[in-house]
Amino acid sequence: MSTAPELPITAPFAGTVIAVACDRDEHVPPGAAVLVLEAMKMEHEVVSEAGGTVRRLEVKVGDMVQEGQLLAVLAMGENAASPTKQTQSINKNPDQIREDVDAVQHRHALGLDAARPDAVARRRARGQRTARENLADLIDEGTFVEYGPLMFAAQERRRPKRELIERTPADGLVAGVGDIDGRPVVALAYDYTVLAGTQGMRNHLKKDRLFEVAARRRLPVVLFAEGGGGRPGDVDWPIVAGLDCRAFHLFARLSGLVPLVGIASGYCFAGNAALLGCCDVVIATENSSIGMGGPAMIEGGGLGRYEPADVGPIEVQAANGVVDLRVGDERDAVAEAKRYLSYFRGATDPAPLRDQRVLRDLIPANRRRVYEVRGVIEALLDDVLELRRGFGLGMVTALARHEGRPLGVIANDPSHLGGAIDTHGADKATRFMQLCDAFALPILFLCDTPGFMVGPAAERTATVRHFARMFLTGANLAVPTGTIVLRKGYGLGAQSMAGGGFKAPLFTIGWPTSEFGAMGLEGAVRLGMRRELEAIEDPTEREQAFEAAVAAAYERGTGINMAAYFEIDDVIDPADSRRWIATLLEPGSGSGEWWLRPGKRRPNVDAW
């Protein structure tokens, strides 16, 4: 009788024997299957932990066994190997691709640009890149995780499934999560080569999914919005109008929670344009045409026939304020999108400090001489990115950095209407305040305004309401603000450049060229001394009296005099301005990392 030790093989759980892998007296290597059990519709190999020879089989195919029941007995040899968990079913050749894996790889490949040369050629003919090329430029290499690449248009009642797979990959929306400069974002790109970039029923669901991911993970969203709006040809869905889709609601709810970046290149109409308009910043290329209705909708409404390029060209949309950043092409658009997002990611390494003494001579001593306020901003701060430059010409709004930390800048431009704040300028400044407030960017006001724009023409633009937006928003900011008066600080306009009043910001200071008054001094003299001036009969003498009164008013309204009465905090050497700006960025000042706070600072960032 053999004296070799025995190794019992028992059932790890209850099940049915569906295969016996070894016969009696057959040698079983370590880790090899002895039997196969089926339980809960799954097959499980029962393996030997050590090598041996089958001495007895206690069950046969078809037997039902209980947990712990003896299945077989092995006689272990003297040189039995150590136990292992490796099984014979593992493929030991990684270069050999199983049929199911090959099928998955093939299906994914059908959606790539290499499989669609004709579609790529059409993009090249238009001087544009494909959706996947734009995303590859935007996202750090190797980090993109795509959602829904195997989708196709819901049109199986009209077209063969194979054709839909090949011609409508990803249902016309390439979307997923990837990194930009090492930080994750949600990125979506409508594919104009697929049914003109229209919004299909399935890609609506994909947007829903990605917008919810953005909210849960607090990730910025970048949207390439090229496309023709809703798609009427998706007949597989039993709908009447499809107005219960969730994408627009979910996307709009992200406003104020995460930064939203929209990019338009080519034609962007209807639903695509609606999403674009919800974005914090709109970047558009020279060949873009943006409109809430495309040519078909316009003609269908009996409003005439138009070419797509004539609906909302860049010249129109940059001047009217729809576009924040006007760029040459998609490559430039991607670069600006990356740059824009960098301001919402905390501090960077400080730039080399420029000689601040140049600030002393940027405002002309002649108080009537116009100067370039953008030159002041560039000398005072680093890495300046101006938004909405073609709109609201009397107001400059820009993102910038001070010692590597981001902030927002709002400045009057005296080269337009003398810096007077008109309707468009007020709207521009107000929305920018909301953007900075939503994402914890301190605001620096550079004030040089004679006040708000007046007159019958101004009132026809609803100045009363639009100008008041600056007070309403400024008074309710959670971020720290500071005001530097470069030259003119008059009346309500100057107060609006300080959040509602000179004591509202953390500091209100003036440069030596600053001057102040409750209203424009010439107007104040004419109004306050009307009777006295009218009593002087000689015109020359009357003008001399007027000029003398104005000069006295200017002397009283100098920055030094304002500071002496503590109506402002100080008048400073312009070269010392950065010390004051630094106080907006100190710990505890109210600025910080928006992605760490619970919820929103404000309900949303106004689209206008």
The string of pLDDT tens digits covering residues 328-385 is 999 999 999 999 999 999 999 999 989 999 999 999 999 889 999 999 999 999 999 9
Q: What are the backbone dihedrals phi and psi of residue 496, each rounded to the nearest 5 degrees, phi first?
A: -70, -25
Both structure tokens of 375: 């030159």
Q: Which whole-number Å values give the CA distances from 49 to 17, 26, 75, 183, in the listed order? A: 19, 16, 12, 46
How far apart, in whole angstroms, are the C-alpha atoms of residue 534 and residue 392?
A: 39
Sign, CA torsion 505/507/511/517? positive
End-to-end CA distance of the chain: 94
In sequence order, what are the residues at sequence separation of 6 or more whose Cβ sits closer than 8 angstroms to the Cβ of residue 42?
Answer: none
Both structure tokens of 435: 């953007």
> Do 283 and 246 form a contact (C-beta atoms < 8 A)?
no
Rounded (to 5) percent helix, strand, coil in the chain: 35, 25, 45
Predicted pLDDT of residue 85: 42
> Do 510 and 537 form a contact (C-beta atoms < 8 A)?
no
Q: Which CATH number fits domain 356-514+558-593: 3.90.226.10, 3.40.190.290, 1.10.240.10, 3.40.50.2000?
A: 3.90.226.10
Q: What residues pair up with 269 in beta bridges, in sequence order?
A: 291
Predicted pLDDT of residue 588: 60
CATH superfamily of 102-342: 2-enoyl-CoA Hydratase; Chain A, domain 1 (3.90.226.10)
Predicted pLDDT of residue 80: 46
Both structure tokens of 393: 């010409």
Q: What residues pair up with 488 in beta bridges, in sequence order?
A: 515
Amino acid at 456: P
6-75: in CATH 2.40.50.100: yes
How far apart, in whole angstroms, are the C-alpha atoms of residue 564 and residue 562?
A: 5
Q: Where are the domains of the chain?
A: 6-75, 102-342, 356-514+558-593, 520-557
How far apart, in whole angstroms, are the C-alpha atoms of residue 215 and residue 247?
A: 13
| Residues of the chain scoring pLDDT < 70 | 1-3, 77-92, 519-528, 588-592
How far apart, in whole angstroms, are the C-alpha atoms of residue 431 and residue 281?
A: 11
Predicted pLDDT of residue 541: 80
Beta strands in 95-198 (DSSP E): 145-147, 173-180, 183-190
Predicted pLDDT of residue 345: 92
Both structure tokens of 447: 């004030």
Beta-carbon count within 10 A of 471 CB:
18
Tens-digit pLDDT profile for residues 384-413 = 999 999 999 999 999 999 999 999 999 999
Q: Do domains 102-342 and 356-514+558-593 have the same CATH topology?
A: yes
> Quick one: three-class SS letters along 321-342?
CCCCEEECCHHHHHHHHHHHHH
Q: What are the backbone dihedrals phi and psi of residue 487, each rounded to the nearest 5 degrees, phi first?
A: -145, -85
